[in-house]
Amino acid sequence: MTTVALFVTCLVDLYRPGVGFASVKLLEEAGCEVVVPEAQTCCGQPAYNSGDRRDAMAIARQVITAFADFDYVVAPSGSCAGMIKHHYPALFAGDPQWRIKADDLARRTHELTSFLVDVLQVEPAPARFDGTVTYHDSCSSLRELGIQAQPRALLGKVEGLALRELKTPEACCGFGGTFCVKYPEISTEIASRKAADVAATGAGTLLAGDMGCLLNIAGRLQREGHAVKVRHIAEVLAGMADGPAIGEPQS
Amino acid sequence: MKSTAHGFKENARNALQDTQLRDALSVVGTNFIVKRRLAADALPEFETLRDEATAIKNRTLNELDLHLERFERKVVEHGGVVHWCIDAAAARETVLSICRSVNAKTVTKGKSMLGEEIGINPFLEANNIRPIETDLGEYIIQLADEPPSHIIAPAVHKTKSQIADLFEKHHKRPRSMDGEALVAEARAMLRQSYFDADVGITGANFLVAETGSSVIVTNEGNGDLTQTLPKIHIVLASIEKLVPTFEDMATILRVLARSATGQQMSVYTTVSTGARRAEDPDGPEQYHVVLIDQGRSAMLGTELQDLLRCIRCGACMNHCPIYHAVGGHAYGWVYPGPIGAALDPALLGVAEAHHLPNASTFCGRCEEVCPMRIPLPKIMRHWRERAFEDDIQPVMQRTAIRWWAFLARRPFLYRANTRLAMWLLHALGKTRGRFKSLPFAGGWTAGRDLPAPQGGTFHAQWAAKGGRTK
Amino acid sequence: MNARDRILGNVRSSLKRGEPDAAARAAYDARFDTHKRNTVPAHAKLPHADLVARFIVEAKAVGASVTQLADAGAIADEVAAYLREKNLPARIRVAPSLSGLHWGDPALLDVEHGKAEPSDTATLTRALAGVAETGTLVLTSGPATPTTLNFLPDANLVVLTEDEIVGAYEDAWDRVRGLGATPRAVNFVTGPSRTADIAQELILGAHGPIDLHIILLAKG
């Protein structure tokens, strides 16, 4: 049996644990055994993108160590997977010993939908979702990892689901990690363009593979009074989209 | 040009409230992007050419000294002069002394970002020489007394209505809202200037070592009139503009216009080699290349060298969500958009320009479309690291990041703290599902609702379920 | 130290290079004799008849007009007809290289030769080459082909022969090099002047010619 270590990501851990359990379900249904190493917190991207290279390296070493012994590491996030795959090796460019370990982890690490489609190549367990959805490609998934077809292939197999594409699916949502609070007015402006694009599709639900984008777009859609529901793609693929969507009343 | 890059936040805030600017910018996010895509897709070799163009420029920069020496030798062989200028001040003085040698009253100018960088126009004006911008976009913003807001479309921030107002005021003719009429009006107004000018100043897209030629790439033809009709042609060029041969230039030309405007080729690619020959009936009697370092040589051999490949096509800003939102003026200096965010700190200092590389979502689209494959996000990150090391960022931001990192490195402490925080947020927010406002999250909630967390953390629930952790 | 030596010194110290010796300089200069090409797009490497066809298509696509004539004998009638059609005055400034053209008796048009003057509304000049990949004309400065002819008038008419059409810019540079000394100006012209500086609306005739008319001769 394939053992997969789940890199939960901080936003899924803290904000939407259900996405973690949906990921586990998808992986288990695909025949994997899922392990969640305890010594994980965050991939270090907030520090790295803020110019705090020393802390980013310290966190990266912690992740590299925690995930050293697994064949595969899977994250329900293009952003965190991109951090591990592309930026960890860059962080240790001047440290051959850690560079080898970073390269090794980078090779073993995959974003969830890409892992299901490209690595496991198994037919997902049948899921059903009645409604029209649109899909937002996170910038890191799309441009750092080249993930575009994989989530669509998986959604294409969900019964009852119709996908309606955004007019500019390659445009950023304005989240940008710490950017969204460092330059909130600009971030909001970019988010409102994305929200307008989402609303214009007429889809009832927006899906994406990254919690950062989802929180940002959901926040803007809801501020503007749109009724579009916002979910992580894993929830729909795993048939776990029954509960409240992001930002919806929970009691 | 005087920088207001330190005031980026304020500049951006003002820009976001400018509805005319929003109207004007709306075309950038669609027009340029679609046209570039179509042009790139129509050329099967496009990606190969990008690789080759990048490699050409890398090789050139790695032996720039040899290219510069040959370039000068060839300029002189063709009857021209090269003026080596270590910085902007030296360049301004050089231009002034050439202008004074013919008692110049007016100079016509083709578009030159380097001209903006060294502030040539205000300097000439202060010395009683009138510079007349002839590129239509530059002419418009000269009338408006504004700097360019885009490196190839300097007046892209102006609506047609604003331009009509400017022309009415300055040309004293009836106001027109017809594009063709406005262009014809500017053409007529500027025509005599080319003949009256004593000196024509242009920039350079390339300097070619092979023959000592300077090259301008334009669409309007103003640069050609500017450099052909006056007695003196002055070329402003920075040292990284060198390419070895015409074959190398051909490769870069194939990616330049496609990346910039989506044209296969700009209308006029003009290669100038020296002054008018004895038997020539037209052309300038004197040909001067003002060859400017202004910080470039110091970038060689460093992580910033990649920036010297830039061919100023503007594709990065055309694809930048920040640029789309705030336009070019908010950046506060000559080069806006991603190239400005990466280059301006090198030329202005990171203390002045630290906002620019920080104000990026790292969406990566600039790097994806840069024909010269400049790793713009990587260079922006370099500046963020410099700003962090130099303690330039706001104390709150630094403290928050360091505190987060402190916790992230201590998983058990992290879990205890985050569990508590998420429990609290969930308890407060679960009924409505989200927050309209929240202390300490004002940046977020000013323009967005903040979704409430689902409740519990994944790790706690996983542990409670007895899930495998090793 | 003068600015030249300072800049070259800074470049060398940044690149961690010493000053090159005579052998290195000679090897460097020798490279310029090879005219080595990088990748040339396949569409620029077609059989000649296809290149001629592509040149016409591409030139028209960027807003130039193209007329094909059998030989130079038909130029005068074509120019006269073109000016009539464009409602331009019946006069033309002609490049000295085309001084052998016969303009009829009595002359169809008011014809003057030499560089362009401010009052010229139409000019007729001669191209060195046409580049098929983008429908680009290559014009060179010189006593027989003044540069101002290319830029000052409202309408620029350019004579080109089919055998002067080449595939790629590199081929055109070989033709320029074939002239011997590098001309003061080499103009690659791809369509008539244009601007999009007013609200991104594409408008022809910003400062250079509003009309570019290519007279393509089957033989010279």
The answer to whether A12 faces chain B, any CB pair under 8 Å, is yes
End position of a domain, from candidates A86, A119, A152: A119
Cβ of B450 within 8 Å of Cβ of A244? The answer is no
Neighbouring C-beta atoms of residue B403, cutoff 10 Å? 11
- pLDDT greater than 90 at residue B29: no
Same structural domain for residues B139 and B273? yes
Q: What is the pLDDT of residues A26-55, one digit of tens each?
A: 999 999 999 999 999 999 999 999 999 999
The answer to whether A2 faces chain B, any CB pair under 8 Å, is no
Same structural domain for residues A93 and A164? no
Cβ of B458 within 8 Å of Cβ of A20? The answer is yes
Cβ of B468 within 8 Å of Cβ of A250? The answer is no
Same structural domain for residues B8 and B57? no
Instruction: Report the distance separating Cα B319 and Cα C177, nearest Å.
Output: 39
Instruction: Report the distance separating Cα A15 and Cα A8, nearest Å.
Output: 11
Q: Which chains sit next to A, with 3 or more Cβ pairs under 8 A?
A: B
The answer to whether B438 faces chain A, any CB pair under 8 Å, is no
End position of a domain, from candidates A119, A136, A155: A119
Q: What percent of chain A has pLDDT over 70?
A: 100
Length of chain B (residues): 470
Same structural domain for residues A29 and A78? yes
User: What mean pLDDT comes out for the span A128-150?
Assistant: 97
Q: How far is C132 from chain B (nearest CA, A)?
A: 12
Range of the domain at A196: 126-237
Residue A246 resides in a domain? no
Same structural domain for residues A14 and A81? yes
Cβ of B446 within 8 Å of Cβ of A188? The answer is yes
Residue A244 resides in a domain? no
Same structural domain for residues B8 and B53? no
Same structural domain for residues A130 and A221? yes
End position of a domain, from candidates A54, A87, A119: A119
B-chain residues near A179 (CB < 8 A): 358-362
Instruction: For residue B82, give every residue at least 6 positions away whose Cβ sits within 8 Å of its Cβ, in sequence order, or none.
Output: B71, B72, B75, B76, B288, B289, B291
C129-131 and B213-218: which strand pairing? unpaired
Per-residue confidence (pLDDT) for residue C220, from 0 to 100: 74
Q: Which helix (H) or strand (E) holds B242?
A: strand B242-243
Domain ranges of chain C: 1-36, 46-217
Nearest chain B alpha carbon to C10: B297
Residue B31 resides in a domain? no
ipTM entry: 0.98
Residue B308 resides in a domain? no
- pLDDT greater than 90 at residue A71: yes
Same structural domain for residues B2 and B53? no
CATH of the domain at A148: 3.40.50.11810
Same structural domain for residues B366 and B420? no
CA distances from B298 to A94, B289, B351 (A): 22, 21, 18
Phi first, then psi, for residue B437 (nearest 5°) are -155, 160
Same structural domain for residues B192 and B255? yes
How many alpha carbons lie under 13 Å from residue B240 in its C-beta half-sphere? 22
Q: Tell me the pLDDT band of A251, cut-offs 50, 70 and 90.
A: confident
Indicate the fold that domain C46-217 takes in CATH.
Rossmann fold (3.40.50)
Same structural domain for residues B281 and B177? yes
Cβ of B13 within 8 Å of Cβ of A185? The answer is yes
End position of a domain, from candidates B393, B419, B440: B393
Q: What is the pLDDT of residues B241-257, one digit of tens each?
A: 999 999 999 999 999 99
Residue A32 resides in a domain? yes
Per-residue confidence (pLDDT) for residue C106, from 0 to 100: 87
End position of a domain, from candidates B376, B393, B410: B393
Q: How far is A125 from chain B (nearest CA, A)?
A: 22
Is-above-0.95 flag for pTM?
yes
Q: What is the pLDDT of residues B263-282, one digit of tens each?
A: 999 999 999 999 999 999 99
Range of the domain at B159: 43-298
Q: How far is C89 from chain B (nearest CA, A)?
A: 18
CATH of the domain at B91: 3.40.50.10420
Residue B9 resides in a domain? yes
Instruction: Report the distance separating Cα C205 and Cα C191, nearest Å.
Output: 10
Residue B307 resides in a domain? no
CA distances from C159 to B211, B219, C167 (A): 27, 22, 18
Instruction: Report the distance separating Cα A199 and Cα A132, nearest Å.
Output: 12
User: What mean pLDDT comes out for the span C82-102?
Assistant: 97
Residue B30 resides in a domain? no
CATH of the domain at A109: 3.40.50
Question: In B249-395, at which residue ranges do the beta strands (DSSP E only) sit?
Answer: 268-272, 286-292
Same structural domain for residues B203 and B336? no
Interhelix angle B337-348/B376-389, rounded to 10 degrees, is: 40
- Total structural domains within chain B: 3
- pLDDT greater than 90 at residue B73: yes
- Total structural domains within chain A: 2
Average pLDDT, chain A: 96
- pLDDT greater than 80 at residue B184: yes
Length of chain A (residues): 251
Nearest chain B alpha carbon to A175: B361
User: What mean pLDDT comes out for the span B303-315?
Assistant: 98
Same structural domain for residues A182 and A140? yes
Same structural domain for residues B147 and B71? yes
Nearest chain C alpha carbon to B302: C14
Per-residue confidence (pLDDT) for residue A83, from 0 to 100: 98
End position of a domain, from candidates B393, B413, B429: B393
